[in-house]
């Protein structure tokens, strides 16, 4: 069974709601999902997954420090081992959303392949935002099945 790591950070729950919706979309397509907060995710999670979803709140127009720390910890030891794997990402923001650029640059550094446009959601996710997150999960699932 194909496996996806959904890794995210959250403080007030918005990003987590979106992560759970992505997970639902993936699972509806028969994908096994490892859902982890960035502070709890490690190299083994990265190496053992066939695809990735990265989710972060926008903090000062950059990804959350906890997610950056996950990338810092896994970059060198994963070098050359996950090249060209598929990924998607999403950002929860308060009216900005520029953090998406930092995520995309990081994924580029890891030589990952973005298979769908990033999802940007302002504030508390509404029903239609959760639906979009679910769709994002389905798109990722289709790319790795």
Ligand X SMILES: Cc1cc2nc3c(=O)[nH]c(=O)nc-3n(C[C@H](O)[C@H](O)[C@H](O)COP(=O)(O)O)c2cc1C
Interface with ligand X includes 102 (CB under 6 A)? no
Interface with ligand X includes 93 (CB under 6 A)? yes
**SS3 letters across the chain:** CCEEEEEECCCCCHHHHHHHHHHHHHHCCCCEEEEEEHHHCCHHHHHCCCEEEEEEECECCECCHHHHHHHHHHHHHHCCCCCCCEEEEEEEECCCCCHHHHHHHHHHHCCCEECCCCEEEECCCCHHHHHHHHHHHHHHHHHHC
In the complex with ligand X, which residue's Cβ is closer, 15 or 102? Answer: 15
Q: How far is the CB of 16 from ligand X (least distance, A)?
A: 6
Interface with ligand X includes 15 (CB under 6 A)? yes
Interface with ligand X includes 92 (CB under 6 A)? yes
Q: How far is the CB of 17 from ligand X (least distance, A)?
A: 8
Q: Return the residue of 5, 10, 53, 66 that touches ligand X, per CB under 6 A.
A: 10
Q: How far is the CB of 76 from ligand X (least distance, A)?
A: 28
Which span sits near ligand X by CB under 6 A: 21-29, 37-45, 93-101, 129-137?
A: 93-101
CA-nearest of 145, 143, 144, 140 to 26 is 140
Interface with ligand X includes 126 (CB under 6 A)? no
CA 74/CA 94 separation, integer angstroms: 29
Q: Return the residue of 57, 74, 86, 137 that touches ligand X, per CB under 6 A.
A: 57
> Is-contact 66 73, C-beta < 8 A?
no
What is the size of the binding site for ligand X (CB under 6 A)?
19
Residues that bind ligand X (CB under 6 A): 10-16, 57-61, 92-97, 123
């Amino acid at each position: 069974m194909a496996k996806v790591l959904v890794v995210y950070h959250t403080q007030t729950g918005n990003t987590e709601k979106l992560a759970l919706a992505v997970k639902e979309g993936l699972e509806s397509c028969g994908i096994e999902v490892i859902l982890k907060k960035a502070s709890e995710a490690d190299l083994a999670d990265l190496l053992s997954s066939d695809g990735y979803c990265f989710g972060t709140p926008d903090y000062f127009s950059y990804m959350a420090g906890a997610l950056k720390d996950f990338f810092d910890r896994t970059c060198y030891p994963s070098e050359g081992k996950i090249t060209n794997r598929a990924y998607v990402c999403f950002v929860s923001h308060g009216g900005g959303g520029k953090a998406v650029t930092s995520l995309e640059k990081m994924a580029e550094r890891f030589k990952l392949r973005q298979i769908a446009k990033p999802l940007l959601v302002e504030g508390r996710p509404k029903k239609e935002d959760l639906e979009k997150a679910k769709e994002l999960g389905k798109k990722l699932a289709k790319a790795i099945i």
